[in-house]
Amino acid sequence: MAMIDTQPVKGTRDFYPEDMRVRTWLFGLWREVARRYGFEEFDACVLEQEELYIRKAGDEITAQLYNFVDKGERRVALRPELTPSLARMVLAKGAALPLPLRWFSIPQCFRYEQSQKGRKREHYQWNMDIIGLGSVAGEAELMAAQVEFLTLAGLNCAHGHSDVVIKVSNRQVIQHFLEGLGIGPDRFAAVCVVIDKRDKIGPAAVAAELARLGVDEGASRAILALLETTGLAEVAAKVPADNPGLIALTELMALCQASGIAHLLSIDLSVIRGLSYYTGTVWELFDASGAMPRAISGGGRYDRLLESFGGASVPMVGFGFGDVVITDILSERGLLPVLGRGIDDVVYPLSAVEFPVAARVATALRRQGRAVTVDYTCRRFRHVIERAEKDGAKRLIVLGGNEVRDGVCQIRHLGGEKREERIPLADMVGG
């Protein structure tokens, strides 16, 4: 019979145990940071109602859906992101939820994207969201949490030689600028989606798509020129002092100063983000060296998503932090930990006659909380010890026929120590 294709589905990954150890380590850091910031973990199903992702602004994510009609004629999709599920869950509970909420999750997400460095068709995404807080203190707290994670992971976030940069903008800067050009809020989300694509499709295609939205050539040029603006002073020079986006960015900078991360922020109006639901602050985290062109993570304020789902307006802000880019960056910098299997003892019965006593010894050791495997292969000592050492076991407990008859077992300490001792079996199995 011909062998099946052993490759995972294009753009998806297998996690062999050694990969899984790294993933568990990464998720552990994410959970630890979320705990330090007082966030509660939640989840939803990977299968969602398709309509949650259908947005009229033309978001790219809608075109990338893994969607189908199920056997009950429901239009469903594998979630490409968690935010709409979060909004649905908040809406479902309504006033029963004590706001503000601080929730986090590590969902697996699916997007039918062109698979390339930093982008797969499936990824895990650490999300932290604050629900019911309109102040940019929320953004500052979320950015500080991201920096805390990066520091725990071993990246340098100190002043002067940081490995990362947080590029920040606020969509209201542009929204109010557009209003000045006669482009109202009804067209704003769609304009954002178009201008976010400018690196991909080029200025001519952007101008053409903007023209379709009724934005004339002069306005297009003015918008694209404004996007070149970096730094708070330059923004302040280009927009009126009462521009709400400028005011929010100024406040955010002051709060980030207080939490010691302001040196990592770079105000950069070129950051738009491709999701149409963002209404205020938007930010993306990048590798400062420029070696990794993809954003490490992205977030923003989305105060009207619940309204768009038919609910009352509730301010929300959060970020999504994928596992793919950060794992690549940590790996390239030699920062991924070398993680062993965590085996404490290998119990080695020399023949099947000693299997019952081996099981008793293993049971007793496990009750003490030790990680134990029993080597039931009855293969040669050399092979058993080689494997035990490779697995990082601390002790090999040899159960030979003669020793068992004499009521003892032989313990060989592995690793640095390499000594042997004979111990009464009664001591091993707890009398």
Q: Give φ, ψ of 284 to 5 degrees.
A: -140, 145
Nearer to ligand HAM, 87 or 409 (CB): 87
Q: Binding segment for ligand HAM among 47-55, 97-105, 213-221, 318-326 (CB under 6 A)?
A: 318-326
Amino acid at 236: A
Q: Which is nearer to ligand HAM, 188 or 286 (CB)?
A: 286
Q: Which lies closer to ligand HAM via its Cβ, residue 322 or residue 349?
A: 322
Crossing angle of the two packed helices 198-212 and 185-196, in degrees rounded to 10: 150
CB 83 within 8 A of CB 277: yes
Q: Quote the least distance from Cβ 193 to ligand HAM, whole Å.
A: 12
Q: Can you say whether the dihedral through the CA atoms of 93, 94, 100, 102 is positive or negative?
A: positive
Interface with ligand HAM, residue 282, by CB under 6 A: no
Euclidean distance between CA atoms 179 and 182, whole angstroms: 5
- Given the complex with ligand HAM, which of 19 and 420 has the nearer CB atom? 19
Question: Tokens standing for 393?
Answer: 């076991």
What tokens does 415 get?
Answer: 């690793």
**Amino acid (1-letter code) at residue 384:** V
Q: Is 170 in the site for ligand HAM (CB under 6 A)?
A: no
322 is a contact residue toward ligand HAM (CB under 6 A): yes
Q: Which stretch binds ligand HAM (CB under 6 A): 29-37, 159-167, 322-330, 348-356?
A: 322-330
Handedness of CA 92, 95, 97, 100 (dihedral sign): positive
Q: Which one of residues 52, 78, 83, 239 is an interface residue with ligand HAM (CB under 6 A)?
A: 83
Q: From 163-171, 314-322, 407-415, 416-424, give the range in contact with ligand HAM by CB under 6 A.
A: 314-322
* Chosen residue from 62, 85, 105, 125 binding ligand HAM by CB under 6 A: 125
Q: Binding string to ligand HAM for residues 94 to 123, with x set by CB under 6 A, is what?
A: -----------------x-x-----xx--x
Using CB under 6 A, count the residues that bind ligand HAM: 24
Binding flag, residue 295, ligand HAM (CB under 6 A): yes
Please say whether the beta carbons of 127 and 319 come within 8 A.
Answer: yes
Cα dihedral across residues 323, 327, 328, 333: positive or negative: positive
Distance CA 107, CA 126 (A): 7
Question: What are the residues facing 413 on neighbouring strands?
Answer: 395
Residue 177 found at the interface with ligand HAM (CB under 6 A):
no
User: Is 300 near ligand HAM (CB under 6 A)?
Assistant: yes
Stretch that binds ligand HAM, among 125-133, 217-225, 406-414, 418-426 (CB under 6 A): 125-133
* Residue 229-258 contact track with ligand HAM, rule CB under 6 A, x = bound: ------------------------------
Quick one: which segment of 96-104, 152-160, 320-328, 348-356 binds ligand HAM (CB under 6 A)? 320-328
Burial of 383 (0-12, 13-18, 19+ CB in 10 A): exposed
Give residues with Cβ within 8 angstroms of 191, minimum separation 6: 178, 183, 210, 213, 215, 223
- H helix runs in 215-354, sequence order: 217-226, 232-238, 244-258, 305-308, 323-332
Instruction: Note whether 299 and 319 are within 8 A (CB).
Output: yes
Kind and range of the H or E element at 30? helix 17-36
Q: Which of 147, 318, 330, 345 binds ligand HAM (CB under 6 A)?
A: 318
- Contact status: 281 vs ligand HAM (CB under 6 A): no
Q: Which is nearer to ligand HAM, 295 or 398 (CB)?
A: 295
Q: Considering the rule CB under 6 A, would residue 320 count as an interface residue with ligand HAM?
A: yes
Question: What's the closest the beta carbon of residue 172 comes to ligand HAM, in angstroms?
Answer: 16
Q: Round to the nearest angstrom and report the end-to-end CA distance of the chain.
A: 54
> Does residue 81 interact with ligand HAM by CB under 6 A?
yes
Ranges within 330-359 binding ligand HAM (CB under 6 A): none
Given candidates 22, 272, 325, 409, which one binds ligand HAM under the rule CB under 6 A?
325
Q: How far apart are CA 356 and CA 336, in angstroms?
A: 40
Q: State how beta strands 66-69 and 75-78 pair.
A: antiparallel
Applying CB under 6 A, the residues found at the interface with ligand HAM are 81, 83, 111, 113, 119-120, 123, 125, 127, 129, 275, 295-300, 318-322, 324-325
